[in-house]
Every structure is written in structure tokens, then in C-alpha cells.
Chains A and B, each alone.
Chain A
Amino acid sequence: MTDNKMIICRCEEVTYGELVETAEKFGCTPRELKLRTRAGMGYCGGRTCRSAVDSIALAATERDISEITLKYQPPIRPVSFGKLGDVTK
């Protein structure tokens, strides 16, 4: 198996090759790379691929040291819709 075919974001099935190609083509920040490829936008909230997506984008762009590169959004842990909407059975 080559690096290019390797899955980086498991939830959205985004490969290393796709991420590197997109980052090179657009010179994107981590956030833009996420939005262009959907890497890190799956149900795990990017908990597995966050650092990899970050580093691929930061290979070509400068890191903003005063802001987290890939934003965290609540809920930061999976919550069922019923519980979230306060729906009781």
C-alpha cells in the first residue's frame, strides 16, 4: 500500500494523497483543508485525524500560534439526539 492511498480521516474516508494534493494546490490553512476535503468533519469530531490534517496543511502555511488551528465545537463527545434535545421517552 502506498502512502497516498492511506486513510487519514476514517469517518469521512479522506486519504493522505487527497489531503497532500489539496494542500499543495490551494496552499490552505488547516481549516480550509478541512472544509475542502471534509477531513475531521465526521462523527468523531476529528479526534483521530486532527493532528495529521494540521501538519499536512502546516507543511506549506505558517501556524498561527495564538489560535487553535482546527476549532473545537460542542458537543465535544457524542451525545444522542434524544438527550441533546431533552426528549424523554
Chain B
Amino acid sequence: MGKVIIIGAGPAGLSAAITIAEKGLDVLVIDEYMVGGGRLLGQLYEEPNGNWWNGIKESKSLVERAKNAGVEIQLHTPVSNIERIDDEWVIYTESEVHYTSHLLLATGAAETPLPIPGWTLPGVMSVGAAQVMTNVQRVKPGNRGVIVGVNVLSSAIAMELKIANIDVACITLPKMNIPTEKSADPMEVMNSLLHVSHMAPSAFVKLGSKLMTNDFMKRMGITFFPKNGVKMWDIPIMLRKAVVEIYGDGKVEGVKIATISPSGEVVAGTEENISADFVCIAGGLYPLAELAAVAGCPFYHIEELGGYVPLHNEQMQTPVEGLYVAGNITGIEGAKVAISQGVTAGLAIANDVLGGGLESNIQQAIADIETTRDNAYIQFHPEVKEGKRKLQQYWEEHQNKSVAITL
């Protein structure tokens, strides 16, 4: 019997690997990064119970458990292509070709950039890059930064930078253009922040968000939102200012910001310069589905899940034979959901390889994903469950269609 191959050594991939190895099967995990753990590595935040979720610690423990279970992990190995030849998946890395009957794609997510004038200057990076530099590589991205894009991810990372003693001048919106449209609309941004207001460290913000229950209050809120922002961890979050340009001679020297109207238009004559030596762009995350796409898996665009996601069922199985998915490739959610999806995918694969017997474990694992999702501290999209429901519907439509073709 060959080995199961998993692409991606993040929370989903590693938990799947552990699950499969514990059923006595051989597993190989491949990842392009030089450390196991995926985006879990960058995470550091305080949970409501006062415990700190330290991604590096969690990653180490997952890698340790995987190794103890006999999982082989190959790091620093990008996969450039996969294809199905005869009854097998062929996985191409730069130096080797691997074969397997069961392939799990746990490739996570990528960041959406927000193009603003000057964004090609050295010193401009995605907020995730600043997080990896700070928390994983322990290199300061700079001494004083500006974060462009107000969302859950950027505010969490702003706090991490603060802990690392890096000055964050402000978190603010990008200037509005076609690609930045949603991230640049104060009203839209405020709506998306309201559902995470339970995370706000200040009672004032929490109380304020309780008052924002109808559109009138929201409009009032955004109209009277203090121009200099509301401070969170001492960092001003500015919903009525936007970065109109990043400037510098050969590298970032600062940003030009301006006051914007409640609908996002720049108010002429309000421009001012803020000096900074790095700029983080935070445009949100989308499922990184390149490999599922080259494998020929059907896709659906589901806004609530962050973009195009490969079609799959509750057991994390795609309609393409022997191809499974887990983690953020199936929709943007937190690491804990990714872990429970990994367990489900792992059980589904083991069940298929072993010829059955794990059906009740799979049902339990599917139920666990739901529970984890319901208890998630950070929800990237308030309607993620609606997104999952749509996906399930597309799956059923697809199944009915394939039955019709076979008949």
C-alpha cells in the first residue's frame, strides 16, 4: 500500500496527517515553507478566558505529535504541479516526483493586496509578511509602520507588532479605487467590524457597537467617528481617513493620508503626511486553491467563504477521485476549525483506504467541525455558515448532475 500525501503542513494538514498515521497508514506531508505549522506560526492572541493562544507553541506540538505518529514531513519543498495519471495522483516537486492514491490539499489562504499609489516601493508588504517577520523570523519589519486596511487580521497583527515593540502609527483605510472598493468604504468596514466587537479591548467600543443595531445609528456612528480614530492598544484606528499615497525616495518614507466622507470620497485639502519606514497592506484572505484548480476540481465563488472554493462534501472529499481538501482552502476560518476539518479529512481518507469501518468516527468529526465553528473566537466572515450551506447545495446539484450523466 502506498502512502497518503498531504500538501500543506499547517493546522489542517498536520492534524489530518496525525489522524491518518494513527490508523496505521504511511503519510508524507509536503510544505513549501521551511518551518512546519503554516499560518498558525504567526498567531498570538489572548483568549476570553485569559489564556494566550501562541501559534508557535501550537505548531511545535502538532509537528511533534505528527513525527511521533510516524508522519514524514518534507519542508522547503514547493509543489509545482499535480495531475492524475491512470489511477494515481502524480505530485511534482522541484527535485522529486511522488505518487499516491489519496491526496489531501491543505494549502491554506493567500492575502489580497490593496493597490494604492506607491505600493511598489520597498518597505511596503502584506500584513501577513510583517507578522511572519516579527513572530517567526524575529526581524523587525521597521521601526514605525502604518497599516492600510481595517479588519480582524490587521488589528490582531497590529497588537502583535506592538508586543514586539514596533511602533504602529495608525491603522487606516486605503484610498478608494476599483480593487480597494470594499476595504475603502467606511460603512462597509464598520459593518464587518461590528461582529467582532466582542474582541475590542475597550468597554467603550463594546458598548458603542451594541448601539449600532440599525442603519441610522451606523450612519451616525460613521459620520461622527472621531477623525483621529478610536484607540485600540494605543493604536489609532481611523475609519474616516485613507492613505492616498505611499511616498519615499527609493523606499518608504511615509504615507499621505486624507479625511474621507462617510462614503469614502477624499475631502480635498485635508491631506497630511505621516512618517513611517514600513507600510503593511491588509486586504483580507482568500482560499489558495491553485493546485485544486490545476487538478480539474470544480469551483464555486462564495463570498462568505472568501472567494473561489473547490467543491467538496462534508467529509472534505472533492468530486475528483482521490482528491480531498481541508483548512482555509475550503473557506477562510480560524486555525481551530482547520484542525477539526483536518481530522475529518484524515478519517475520510483512512476509511477509504481501509475499506470502511470509521463511518461513526467521521460523523462525530463532522459534528465537531460545527461545534468548533460555533465556538470560534474569531470569525472572518459573519455569514460563514450560510456560505457552507450554499456549498452543500452546489455539491448536491453537482451529484444529481453526475448521476444524470451516468444514467
Contact = CB atoms under 8 A, between A and B. Distances in A.
B is a partner of A: yes
Interface of A: 1-3, 5-8, 10, 16, 20, 47-49, 51-52, 55-56, 59, 63, 65-68, 71-77, 79-80, 83
Given A71-B293, A74-B80, A16 B118 contact: no
Interface of B: 32, 78-81, 83, 92, 94-95, 110, 112-113, 115-120, 175, 177-179, 181, 245, 283, 286, 289-291, 293-294, 298-302, 308
Contacts of A51: 112-113, 179, 283, 286
Contacts of B117: 1-3, 5-6
Contacts of A48: 113
A81 B32 CA distance: 19
A49 B114 CA distance: 9
A52 B179 contact: yes
6 contacts: A7-B120, A51-B113, A66-B301, A74-B294, A76-B294, A77-B32
Given A3-B117, A6-B117, A55 B179 contact: yes
Given A1-B118, A72-B290, A79 B94 contact: yes
Contacts of A79: 80, 94
A3 B119 CA distance: 11
A65 B301 contact: yes
B178 A77 contact: no
Contacts of B118: 1, 6
B81 A74 contact: yes
B81 A76 contact: yes
A55 B110 CA distance: 16
Interface core residue of A49, A55, A83 (most chain B CB under 10 Å):
A55
Interface core residue of B94, B95, B245 (most chain A CB under 10 Å):
B94
B301 A63 contact: yes
A8 B308 CA distance: 21
